[in-house]
Structure 1
Amino acid sequence: MNESSLLSSLNTGLFVGGEWREGSDGKQIDVEDPATGKVLTSIADATVEDGVAALDAAVAVQAEWAATPPRERAELLRSAFELINERADELALLMTLEMGKPLAQSKGEVTYGNEFFRWFSEEVVRIHGRYSVSPDGSSRLLTMKQPVGPTLMITPWNFPLAMGTRKIGPAIAAGCTMVVKPASQTPLTMLRLAQVLEEVGVPKGVLNVVPTSRTGDVMGRLISDPRLRKLTFTGSTGVGKKLVEQSAEQLLRVSMELGGNAPFLVFPDADLDKAVDGAMLAKMRNMGEACTAANRFLVHEDVADEFARRFGERMAAEKVGRGTDEGVTVGPLIDQKAKDKVSELVDDATSRGASVVTGGRATGEAGYFYEPTVLTDVPADADLVHEEIFGPVAPITTFSDEDKALRLANDTEYGLVAYVFTTDLGRMIRVSEGLQSGMVAVNQGIISNAAAPFGGVKHSGFGREGGFEGIEEYLSVKYVGIAP
């Protein structure tokens, strides 16, 4: 399917109560191609009234949906998994058009994101409780797990499919109904995903999708509604903190997957070939626009020069361009604001003494492109040491021993993921235990896996997505005491 036919086949309305409809005031959101700055298409822009209608629909079917046999929910997820596989190419193209990443990376996201549907289709039938005798023998203790209830899901722009499937998958599995608010920069993939779930037979009202440019008003109204029982958000720490404050009014169950400042540690015994390969994956996946992206490269002084040389050569060889063009490995950043922020961070670092190994400039006559960049001699007071870069920039600093490496790695308010490269088994264990991080990738540049619990500590949030733990976020435990 080519670009024009794909865009013309989209439902661009709100998906509320199983029906596609325009926003109540008729306003629309323009969705831009970040490679050109031109509008791809326009979609309905939800009002507060539309958001309430979506929650009304979710509440209306919650009890019936919760009572659906687990196997039926499992089969719906499995059917969606299979249909997404069939439509992987069109979903990947849609993601590349609205978000910018190269087609190969978009196809990788379809594969990764779809795994959450397969994984949770297998977890549905394993929701269980327990039975025991009280210690004094006077009663029987029964515990059961039930769906939390209607859930509000706020997803980011950087992984338009995977950030949705990793929330929708466990919610369907647990028996929760949903209102989804995708990012206004990249709503098209979520709308297409809603079409897929509609096609496989997910009942009306179980999934509702309401893109909106009036996020604060619409989400604020829903979060304050006593019928809502859970909020899950992926995005910046600043926004996450505000949402947690708002959620306190109704004491909502909350899951927060927030920002990161991932350290990438290279020890002197590391296999440098693997370390450079891992660095390319950890830094350049999604053009560095990922909460899991390696943000600070901490390299032992004995191997720092060689690592920087090899890494710089690899980064310089990347091809920058529109993600649909052949051979392109680095697409645009999401918008002008993101491009300006990356430029500011690099300019700040170089003004403080950092050296440019490669890159260091915005590029392209149109769109929001920035060159893959490697910096060395980065001072500790540079802004990009402390802030999430969200771009293709790799700052390198050095350390002299393991203790200092851990101090540098942990010197951040964030704690989502860390990367460690070493061939010493003892060091793998010591460093993994010492890192203040929810996840640690050892000798690999990708950590995300549907079968593993994804999430952080400190200001990177709380709650887990994926793994055996992922479905628990959507379940409440009920205890029943029975007199014999």
Structure 2
Amino acid sequence: MSSQTTDAETKWNGLYIDGEWRQPEGAAETTVTSPATGEVVATIPQATEDDVDEAYAVAEQAQTEWAQTPPQERAAVIESAVERLQERQDEVVDLLGREAGSIVPKGAKEVQLATGMMNVATSFPFRDGGDHEKSIIPGKENVVEREPVGVVGVISPWNFPFHLSMRAVAPALALGNAVVLKPAGDTPITGGLLLADIFEEAGLPDGLLNVVPGPGSTVGDAVASDERAEVVAFTGSTEVGRQVAQRAAENFAEPALELGGNNVHIVTDDADLEQAVDAGVFGTFMHQGQVCISINRHLVHEDVYDEYVERLTERAAQLPAGTELDEVVVGPIINETQRDTVLEFIEETVEAGATLETGGEADGLVIEPTVLSDVTNDMAAACNEHFGPVAPVIPFSDDDEAVEMANATEYGLSGAVHAGDLERARDIADRVETGMIHINDQPINDEPHVPFGGVGASGMGRYNAEAILRKFTRTKWVSIQREQREYPF
């Protein structure tokens, strides 16, 4: 481990406000425990509402000057942060394993996703210039400027903590905003303090990124409800997202919400079953199913249902599971509460008449890769977002029934359709009510230049690309009357 890393790790026991690492005396503390080893990763003080208030105050003050900083200087800070991240990739992957239970390939993929978003963000300072519009008034020039919103509150989750924090933080900073970031309680380092450390190394001016770890019920509420927040970006459960949106809206802040999902993997009778099963295995068991865009339900045509279940079961039973994160495919669930919830969904589904084909047990926090057949849409593992390594397989008789079953949920985040006839696949995809859907693939896809988000209870707004540029800026209409105007009175 490099000396740089050693120096950085001494900072994990503090808050980061106004460019300072703080260890407040007498503060309540969060003990971060590794899901893989059970070891204590760090003991971190919890921010208070007063800390959040100070974070917003310094962010608001620092943002004014940052917004006036030439675009090449803002871009240079993001570019430098990319360089720091690339230099520290092994450290970041290791921290994701220790704190979030990420297997090594997942950790590496998360760093790749974050790097891609940061690279796209380096262009944002040069792409927010606005437009000229024609006028209906003779001699008038219309200029539509695009300005930073000001201060962005970010509340991030524990499953992909580094990427899902960075996809909001990097664009917000690149566009001239300041950020107050509240990472998830299970992942305060990789979801928050690590980003602060990287941007500090990159030369980000003080006050522009402030990290306030702590409980969602106090610190999260304070971040969402502060009147100085112009946008509140939240990724997490639909239940909490509704509360965040309400608190933000009370102060006329715009919410940016990516919430829960109940994503389908539709397999028709003319699909390439080998390809569909390959995609189904990855889309179900990647990061133990703890992905908002993972497969929650496998909808399979009745003519190929038995063969699909047999193949999927065989593959699932062979997946290595455990806590050796550089050797396994299925690692630990984030904590005991989440593990118990997943096991309850499995138990309730079997009690309701489903067949347990494989799995269903846990060793510590590791749940065996699980396949359930004879499932119906209303069973617990199917109608809930189970967020675990579980594959409920549901039969359908025709395309109309598949679409009807796919849409029988309040969620609409992602999905997939496998069919030999691409026109048929496209017809099904067009009728599934979701923000994203992938043909002859699986639902776990995220590209930094493509809009990302859902409909219904899966959220509001989009991340990535031009969508996040628009979210973190606002327009201002400036008109210039260059010729004397005639008025009616």
Identity across matched positions, percent: 38
**AA at the equivalent of 2:342:** V
Question: Do structure 1's residue 465 and structure 2's residue 463 form an aligned pair?
Answer: yes
- The question of whether the paired residues in 2 share the 8 Å contact of 1:173 and 1:471 is answered with no
Equivalent-residue separation in structure 1 for 2:458 and 2:344 (angstroms): 23
Secondary structure, aligned partner of 2:161: coil
Q: Name 1:192's counterpart in structure 2.
A: 194
**AA at the equivalent of 1:400:** S
Secondary structure, aligned partner of 2:123: helix
Query: In structure 2, do the counterparts of structure 1 residues 5 and 222 end up closer, same or farther at CA, with 3 Å as the change threshold?
Result: closer
Shift of 1:7: 8.5
Q: 2:422 aligns with which of 421, 425, 429?
A: 425
- The question of whether the paired residues in 2 share the 8 Å contact of 1:7 and 1:41 is answered with no
Question: Do structure 1's residue 93 and structure 2's residue 90 form an aligned pair?
Answer: no
Per-residue displacement from partner, 1:407-448 (whole Å, max 9, x unpaired)?
000110000001111231212321221110000111122321
**AA at the equivalent of 1:385:** A
Q: Name 1:327's counterpart in structure 2.
A: 327
Secondary structure, aligned partner of 1:41: strand
**AA at the equivalent of 1:465:** Y
Q: Name 1:260's counterpart in structure 2.
A: 261
- The question of whether the paired residues in 1 share the 8 Å contact of 2:266 and 2:416 is answered with yes
Q: Name 1:349's counterpart in structure 2.
A: 349
Higher mean displacement: 16-25 or 371-380? 16-25
Shift of 1:305: 1.3
Residue correspondence of structure 1 range 390-469 to structure 2 within 5 A: 390-445=387-442, 446-469=444-467
Per-residue displacement from partner, 1:354-403 (whole Å, max 9, x unpaired)?
111111112x2xx4111000110013331122110100000000111111
Query: In structure 2, do the counterparts of structure 1 residues 221 and 381 end up closer, same or farther at CA, with 3 Å as the change threshold?
Result: closer
Secondary structure, aligned partner of 1:406: helix
Query: In structure 2, do the counterparts of structure 1 residues 290 and 301 end up closer, same or farther at CA, with 3 Å as the change threshold?
Result: same
Equivalent-residue separation in structure 2 for 1:241 and 1:24 (angstroms): 34
Shift of 1:169: 1.6
Query: In structure 2, do the counterparts of structure 1 residues 24 and 65 end up closer, same or farther at CA, with 3 Å as the change threshold?
Result: farther
Equivalent-residue separation in structure 1 for 2:250 and 2:463 (angstroms): 24
- The question of whether the paired residues in 2 share the 8 Å contact of 1:312 and 1:358 is answered with yes
Higher mean displacement: 98-107 or 6-15? 6-15
Superposed CA RMSD:
1.7
- The question of whether the paired residues in 2 share the 8 Å contact of 1:260 and 1:416 is answered with yes
- The question of whether the paired residues in 2 share the 8 Å contact of 1:101 and 1:323 is answered with no
**AA at the equivalent of 2:317:** A
Q: Name 2:124's counterpart in structure 1.
A: 123
Shift of 1:10: 4.5
Secondary structure, aligned partner of 1:476: strand
Equivalent-residue separation in structure 1 for 2:421 and 2:125 (angstroms): 40
Q: Name 1:58's counterpart in structure 2.
A: 59
Count of residues in Structure 1 that have an aligned counterpart in Structure 2: 478
**AA at the equivalent of 2:133:** S
Q: Which runs of 5+ in 1 are unaligned?
A: none
- TM-score for both structures, normalised by structure 2: 0.94
**AA at the equivalent of 1:339:** R
Per-residue displacement from partner, 1:106-152 (whole Å, max 9, x unpaired)?
11111112211011112331223111331242522110100111111
Q: Name 2:313's counterpart in structure 1.
A: 312
- The question of whether the paired residues in 1 share the 8 Å contact of 2:212 and 2:219 is answered with no
Residue correspondence of structure 1 range 235-254 to structure 2 within 5 A: 235-254=236-255
Equivalent-residue separation in structure 2 for 1:458 and 1:149 (angstroms): 28
**AA at the equivalent of 2:265:** F
Equivalent-residue separation in structure 1 for 2:128 and 2:250 (angstroms): 30
Equivalent-residue separation in structure 2 for 1:36 and 1:224 (angstroms): 36
Per-residue displacement from partner, 1:441-467 (whole Å, max 9, x unpaired)?
111223211111110000001111112
**AA at the equivalent of 1:351:** E
Query: In structure 2, do the counterparts of structure 1 residues 221 and 188 end up closer, same or farther at CA, with 3 Å as the change threshold?
Result: closer
Q: Name 2:485's counterpart in structure 1.
A: none
Q: 1:482 aligns with which of 475, 480, 483?
A: 480
Q: Name 1:156's counterpart in structure 2.
A: 157
Per-residue displacement from partner, 1:7-44 (whole Å, max 9, x unpaired)?
95553210100010013643321001112334222112
Equivalent-residue separation in structure 2 for 1:7 and 1:225 (angstroms): 30
Equivalent-residue separation in structure 2 for 1:6 and 1:114 (angstroms): 23
Runs of 4+ with >4 A deviation: 4-10
Higher mean displacement: 418-427 or 342-351? 418-427
Shift of 1:181: 0.3
- The question of whether the paired residues in 1 share the 8 Å contact of 2:410 and 2:457 is answered with yes
Equivalent-residue separation in structure 1 for 2:77 and 2:56 (angstroms): 22
Equivalent-residue separation in structure 1 for 2:9 and 2:128 (angstroms): 41
Q: Which runs of 5+ in 2 are unaligned?
A: 483-489
Secondary structure, aligned partner of 1:179: strand
Equivalent-residue separation in structure 1 for 2:140 and 2:25 (angstroms): 55
Shift of 1:225: 3.1
Q: Name 1:386's counterpart in structure 2.
A: 383
Secondary structure, aligned partner of 2:388: coil
Q: Name 1:47's counterpart in structure 2.
A: 48
Secondary structure, aligned partner of 2:465: coil
Equivalent-residue separation in structure 2 for 1:323 and 1:480 (angstroms): 59
Per-residue displacement from partner, 1:282-329 (whole Å, max 9, x unpaired)?
1111110011010010011111111111111111111111143x4211
Per-residue displacement from partner, 1:153-192 (whole Å, max 9, x unpaired)?
0000001111111001210121110000000101111212
Higher mean displacement: 173-182 or 380-389? 380-389
- The question of whether the paired residues in 2 share the 8 Å contact of 1:12 and 1:191 is answered with no
- The question of whether the paired residues in 1 share the 8 Å contact of 2:182 and 2:223 is answered with no
- The question of whether the paired residues in 2 share the 8 Å contact of 1:100 and 1:323 is answered with no
Higher mean displacement: 85-94 or 424-433? 424-433
**AA at the equivalent of 1:143:** V
Query: In structure 2, do the counterparts of structure 1 residues 270 and 9 end up closer, same or farther at CA, with 3 Å as the change threshold?
Result: farther
Secondary structure, aligned partner of 1:306: helix
